[in-house]
Chains A and B, each alone.
Chain A
Amino acid sequence: MDWLNHFLLTLLATCQNMLPIVVVILIFQFLVIRKPLVNFKKILAGFIYLIVGVAFLLEGLDMAMFPLGKLMAAQMTAPEFIGTVDSKTVTWQSYIWVYAFAASIGFAATLAEPALLALALKAQNISGGTINAWSLRIAVAIGLAFGTALGTFRIVTGLELHYVLFTGYAIIIVQTLFIPKLILALAYDSGPVTPSTVTVPLITALGLGLATTVPGRNPLLDGFGLIAFASLFPVIAVLGYVQLAQWLGKDRR
């Protein structure tokens, strides 16, 4: 009964969140375009699926993904797991499995992302085959894995977030100068597009959990930042891959 109540509240909140986009579409459709919607019944059913689906999704993420990320962060930083009793002897090397886990999640999440596949195929098309869709996805996966692993390392060591980020920005700006302009927009998009509805909560929870359990860290100051890395490093990796592919392509000719 309790659960049902909670679910109905989520459903109501979802309706509220969907309201703006429905209003925008209706207003522009009827006032500006002034054509009736075709297939009204199908669209209505679609909206109902959409709202129920999002409500389920929100409940499920709250129930499984957030607790799971936090739980795993707690278990992998527990003194019994890292094998030290004294918290003073803990160094950043003690958390090696945390970095491995973050990297694996980043890598796995990329391969599963349908939005990225579409992007990669487009890049393959416009480059005339110089860029390979699979290699591009691997490049994004490596970038993302590196980003999330570095992000957890940053949380463990307490390194300032913006120093790393600004270094990343500088690298992208330099790379931009040497990249064929045709591919640039797609490469920029490859980063932010990749972490999706399921992975963002899991990775965020991992970061917040780490910042809560690693001694000396504060979730408010250190807990965020994983997603920022996860959307920055794939761009660097993709730009690097494009440069490499271009260079190899020239060589072959």
Chain B
Amino acid sequence: MIKNRFIKQLFSSFLDMTPILAVVLIFQVLIIRQPIPDATQMVFGTLLVVLGLTLFIQGLEQSLFPIGESMAHAFARKGSLFWLLSFAFCLGFSATIAEPTLVVVTKEAAIIASKGNIIEDTVAAKERYALGLHLTIALAVGSAILIGMIRIIRGWPVYYLMIGGFCCVMALTPFAPANILGIAFDSGGFTTSTITVPLVTALGVGLATAIKGRNPVTDGFGLAAFASLMAVIFVLIYGIIW
């Protein structure tokens, strides 16, 4: 039974990746027409990605998601405001720390920064830079979820926050150093990925369901978008201060 489910999941991870692999292969074979150096390494790496994705999703569905979602519902339904807000912040923060996309991308950003002589070209300096970026983004997501919870409780429309966020980004950009801009804008998209989105959505939808007069769809969603906007704002501020 478990083996069966595992194979099913393996197949579906592979299926999810097929369109991307197909595009890569078509371009490589028909248009670029050049051999891939280290092809065996790439194939092995792709297999690792498929296997890793399978275990990752299986693990999420068996551990983090059921607990996280049931806790989100429990806090949304009764817990005091203080506990709800601290849970929201901690969940946003720690889920972002766990997010594999951010681990890969902040590492790459550190390599680019060291090549551009922003930081020293040592392992320690690069690790510090990557960690600083990762923590900044995690703080941003935590704060965004916290503000998002207050929004649901107060019943503010979602676009107030979004338009406010857009204005913040536009106001901060002129003050931020040029070398952080690209990473800052991109960090919005890095943030909201496989672990964070379902947990955060569960919290939002749970709270919106629990409060009378709130609609789970209009009020429960929008957290991911706001979190990604906050990530941009926080990394811009990080660039200005640092």
Contact = CB atoms under 8 A, between A and B. Distances in A.
Interface of A: 13-14, 17-18, 20-21, 23-25, 28-29, 32-33, 37, 42-68, 71-72, 75-76, 81, 97, 101, 104-105, 108-109, 111-115, 122, 126, 161-162, 165-166, 169, 172-173, 176, 181-182, 184-186, 188-189, 191-193, 195-202, 204-205, 208, 218-228, 230-231, 235
Contact of B97 (A17, A184, A192): A17
Interface in B34-63: 34, 36-38, 41-63
Given A58-B103, A219-B116, A53 B57 contact: yes
B213 interface: no
Contacts of A62: 45, 104
B118 interface: yes
B17 interface: yes
Given A184-B218, A227-B189, A25 B68 contact: yes
Interface string B162-198: 1100100110010000110111011011111111011
B92 to A, nearest CB: 10
A43 B127 CA distance: 31
Contacts of A231: 188-189, 228
B64 A50 contact: yes
Contact of B104 (A50, A66, A105, A218): A66
13 contacts: A32-B87, A43-B63, A52-B59, A59-B45, A60-B50, A169-B166, A185-B217, A188-B222, A192-B192, A201-B108, A221-B179, A225-B185, A228-B232
B51 A75 contact: no
Given A195-B189, A227-B186, A56 B48 contact: yes
Interface of B is mostly: helix
A227 B190 contact: yes
A52 B59 CA distance: 9
Contacts of B61: 46
A63 B55 CA distance: 18
Contact of A196 (B19, B36, B194): B194
B52 A57 contact: yes
Nearest to A205: B108
Interface in B60-119: 60-64, 66-68, 71, 74-75, 79, 83, 87, 90-91, 93-95, 97-98, 100-101, 103-105, 108-109, 112-113, 115-116, 118
B186 A65 contact: no
B115 A105 contact: no
A2 to B, nearest CB: 13
A63 B226 CA distance: 32
A219 to B, nearest CB: 5
B124 interface: no
Q: How large is the interface on B (under 10, 10 to 19, 20 to 34, 35 or more residues)?
A: 35 or more
B131 to A, nearest CB: 10
Contacts of A176: 159, 162-163
A186 B217 contact: yes
B217 A182 contact: yes
A59 B163 contact: no
Contacts of B186: 204, 224-228
A32 B58 contact: no
Given A46-B58, A176-B162, A198-B49, A101 B190 contact: no
A203 to B, nearest CB: 9
B23 A223 contact: no
B133 to A, nearest CB: 12
A12 to B, nearest CB: 13
Given A23-B94, A218-B116, A101 B27 contact: yes
B19 A108 contact: yes
A29 B67 contact: yes
Contacts of B227: 192
Contacts of B241: none
A53 B59 contact: yes
B37 A71 contact: yes
A56 to B, nearest CB: 3
Given A204-B108, A208-B112, 5 more contacts: A47-B63, A63-B45, A76-B32, A112-B18, A222-B182
B67 A49 contact: no
A177 B104 CA distance: 38
B147 interface: no
A47 B59 contact: yes
A50 B59 contact: yes
Contact of A71 (B36, B53, B59): B36
